[in-house]
């Protein structure tokens, strides 16, 4: 079975994660795909395929004779899709021999255009998979799952020698909880790759440092007709807080290694207001400086109003995995070589985001990230090419076998 055929099966299963949930997995629907994958892995011949109590799927392919001493290698992808847009009732559409022009997303009337998404030009002549415009596609990261299992199937069919292969599929990556309950010791790999990247050929070992920021503002409400020097309007103070941050340090105006403060949402009235940010920076020193800027804004406003009006809470989410991968650059070189042999032009690019591999690398499992071939994740314009998926699956197969 080709990778895209698996993808088309997986996107039928609703697996949107829930950022408000306190359960693991955060949404029960993820277990539907987990159980389906366990059945498929068992049918392929993986050993002890199972889903644990937290929704993590594990399975192993034993080493072939003579390769028992080869270090075990892991491959990981995530099952959930982003809560940014519905992942239920996904209706993918295939466009064979894509002509490089606009694509009508038939269910919504939206148009996927190379004017907005220049990467489409690279997919001309391929078979394009898009959404119908009413949902996301779910190639993030069901394409990664499909490519890993397609590679496993090819390895088994070819009889090629290989060391022990460790396979895992995680829930809740999109809400930052993908490896909260991941058992590194049980997984048993000496090193691993997440398959959760974008454009074909992309290999990543640098990511953001990340934190979640909650800002709570407590105002003082009195009758507006007699509020001189008394009222403290929490909603206005929230606006003041945001104005104290660098105006150009936002996602729309940053790229490459430039960090940002991203205001995700804000709500409030006179008495109470709250803002939520995500904080991102590739450089650890700059990351820590940004935290200090937030606390300085807090201090400035509390001094201005003469009371504790603003409270800032910062929770680190993950760190740049480059700090843990500098001693494991053989993983990157192997991936580059495999990508070339699979017909891709490899390139390394710092991810403006994170993967399960960030936290896994800090948990003692060096885990860089590999491409899936997809574009425009988390929205209705998500798309991927069949041929890109084939090449990504081939790269994984080569990493499993000849490129070790």
- Cite the active site residues: 80, 173
Radius of gyration of the CA atoms of the chain, in A: 23
Q: In terms of Cα–Cα distance, which of 306, 317, 350, 65 is closest to 178?
A: 317
How are strands ordered across the β-sheet holding 128-130?
A: 93-95, 128-130, 383-385
Q: Where are the alpha helices (DSSP H) in 171-221?
A: 184-187
- CA 375 to chain centroid, in Å, comes to 12
Query: By the 8 A CB rule, do 373 and 384 touch?
Result: yes
What's the CA gap between 155 and 149, in Å, rounded? 10
Judge whether 402 and 161 are in contact, CB under 8 Å. no
DSSP-assigned letters across all residues of 240-284:
HHHHTS-TT-SGGG--TT--EEEEEEEEE-SSEEEEEEEEEESSH
Q: How far apart are CA 263 and CA 275, in angstroms?
A: 7
Distances from the Cα of 254 to the Cα of 203, 259, 281, 335, angstroms: 21, 7, 11, 28
The DSSP code for 89 is: S
With tokens 């991941």, the residue in question is: 182
Q: CA triplet 9, 397, 196: central angle to 5 degrees? A: 55
Q: What is the DSSP string of 10-69?
A: HTTS--B--TT--SSSSSTTHHHHHHHHHHHHHHHT-EEEEE-TTS-EEEEEPPPTT-TT
User: For residues 343 and 145, what is the distance between their CA atoms, to the nearest angstrom?
Assistant: 20
Say whether the peptide bond before residue 386 is cis (omega within 30 degrees of 0).
no
| CA–CA distance, 35 with 24 (Å, rounded to integer) | 15
> What residues does 74 pair with on adjacent strands?
166, 192
């Amino acid at each position: 079975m080709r990778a895209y055929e698996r993808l088309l099966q997986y996107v039928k299963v609703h697996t949107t994660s829930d950022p408000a949930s306190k359960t693991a997995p955060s949404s029960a629907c993820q277990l539907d795909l987990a159980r389906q994958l366990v059945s498929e892995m068992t049918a392929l011949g993986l050993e002890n395929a199972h889903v644990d109590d937290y929704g993590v799927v594990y399975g192993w392919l034993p080493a072939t004779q003579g390769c028992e001493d080869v270090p075990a290698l892991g491959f990981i992808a995530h099952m959930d899709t982003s809560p940014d847009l519905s992942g239920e009732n996904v209706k993918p559409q295939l466009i064979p021999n894509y002509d490089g022009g606009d694509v009508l997303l038939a269910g919504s009337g939206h148009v996927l255009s190379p004017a907005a998404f220049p990467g489409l030009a690279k997919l001309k002549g391929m078979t394009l998979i898009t959404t119908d415009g009413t949902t996301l596609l779910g190639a993030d990261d069901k394409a990664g799952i499909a490519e890993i299992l397609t590679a496993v199937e090819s390895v088994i069919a070819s009889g090629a020698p290989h060391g022990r292969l460790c396979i895992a599929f995680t829930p809740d990556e999109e809400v930052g909880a993908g490896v909260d309950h991941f058992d590194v010791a049980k997984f048993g790999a000496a090193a691993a790759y997440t398959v959760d990247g974008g454009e074909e050929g992309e290999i990543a070992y640098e990511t953001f440092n990340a934190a979640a920021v909650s800002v709570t503002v407590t105002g003082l409400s009195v009758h507006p007709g007699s509020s001189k020097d008394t009222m403290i309007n929490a909603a206005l103070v929230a606006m003041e807080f945001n104005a104290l941050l660098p105006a150009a340090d936002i996602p729309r105006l940053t790229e490459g290694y430039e960090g940002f403060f991203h205001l995700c949402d804000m709500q409030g009235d006179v008495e109470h207001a709250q803002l939520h940010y995500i904080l991102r920076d590739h450089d650890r020193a700059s990351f820590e400086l940004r935290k200090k800027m937030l606390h300085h804004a807090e201090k400035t406003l509390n001094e201005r109003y003469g009371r504790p009006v603003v409270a800032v809470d910062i929770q680190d989410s993950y760190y740049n995995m480059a700090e843990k991968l500098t001693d494991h650059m053989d993983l990157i070189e192997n991936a580059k070589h495999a990508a070339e042999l699979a017909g891709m032009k490899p390139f390394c690019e710092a991810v403006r985001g994170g993967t399960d591999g960030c936290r896994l690398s800090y948990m003692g499992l060096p885990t860089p990230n590999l491409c899936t071939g997809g574009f425009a994740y988390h929205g209705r314009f998500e798309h991927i090419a069949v041929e890109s998926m084939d090449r990504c699956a081939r790269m994984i197969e080569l990493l499993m076998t000849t490129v070790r």
